Amino acid sequence: MKSFFRMTYPYILWIAVFIVAPMVMILLYALTRTGNSTLTFQFTLENFARFFSDATFMRVLLTSLRIALLTTVFCLLIGYPAAFFISRLSERRQTMMVLLLTLPMWINMLLKTYAWRGILLNFDLASEFKVFIGMVYDFLPYMIIQIHTSIAKMDGNLLTAAYDLGANKWKTFLKVILPLSVPGIISGITLVFLPAVSSFVIPKLLGGGDYVLIGNLIEIYFLTAGDWNFGSAISLIMALIIIASMWLTRKLDRNAQEE
């Protein structure tokens, strides 16, 4: 048992260096303000008060949540029928379709976003709609793959039993397929909503510089303004929102599995 535990040391070190230490630094900067040469840090909650008292920052946060929610809903509306269609194919064709879905994921997001930027420059569209298109394109495969995995591993005998008991295709879908695919739906929602709400590359390139989301705000205060304290406070607020979202989706997933 001790030898097995020793094998975890590299992972513990990795987590401590690349996860715990940065989060501690963000927390420290968020709860302090830069002092003078004698007192380096002064603890305060001014950074959080500044964020929540400014209507501009709150508007950016609400816009980020709204665009992420719209992206998630649209990916679900497109992704579920696509995943269901793929799951009805033969195993060989399913493998080919999943491969075609994952091929764009092998390309760097920055390159894909630049490609969409070149395409959308030819159309007179609102900045928000351009960002929405870019997010749906980038995150849709995550939704499809998660739902497809959930449907594909479903026991076919359950469908046969439903038909034998007199259920038609629509009732079978509502009573059997849809409930059993809920874990895949929740996983897909998690993989789409979390990166969408914190995205900054897509809004920056497709928004034309006049469409700012919470990720862009963090980037501005860290790299442009050099205000690491306020940038850390925004990052911590965003991290708490993401943790709350993960807790909610995990709870929904647990309830679905129990049912």
pLDDT tens for residues 88-136? Answer: 888 889 889 988 888 888 888 888 898 999 899 888 888 889 999 999 9
Tokens found for residue 60: 């950016």
CB 135, CB 196: distance < 8 Å: yes
- Tell me how far apart the alpha carbons of residues 220 and 31 are, in angstroms, rounded to a whole number: 19
CB 116, CB 133: distance < 8 Å: yes
- The rounded Cα 218 to chain-centroid distance in angstroms is 17
3-state secondary structure of 32: strand
Write the CA distances from 49 to 42, 52, 55, integer angstroms. Answer: 15, 5, 12
CB 144, CB 86: distance < 8 Å: yes
Q: Where are the domains of the chain?
A: 62-258
Dihedral of alpha carbons 223, 216, 196, 126, sign: negative
Residue 20 DSSP one-character state: I
**Which CATH number does 62-258 carry?**
1.10.3720.10
Q: Comparing C-alpha atoms, which of 153, 10, 11 is closest to residue 83?
A: 153
pLDDT tens for residues 185-224? Answer: 998 998 999 899 988 889 988 987 778 889 889 988 988 8
pLDDT at 29 over 90: no
Q: What is the pTM of this model?
A: 0.85
Residue 220 DSSP one-character state: I
Pick the more confident residue, 94 or 37.
Answer: 94
- Tell me how far apart the alpha carbons of residues 197 and 212 are, in angstroms, rounded to a whole number: 12
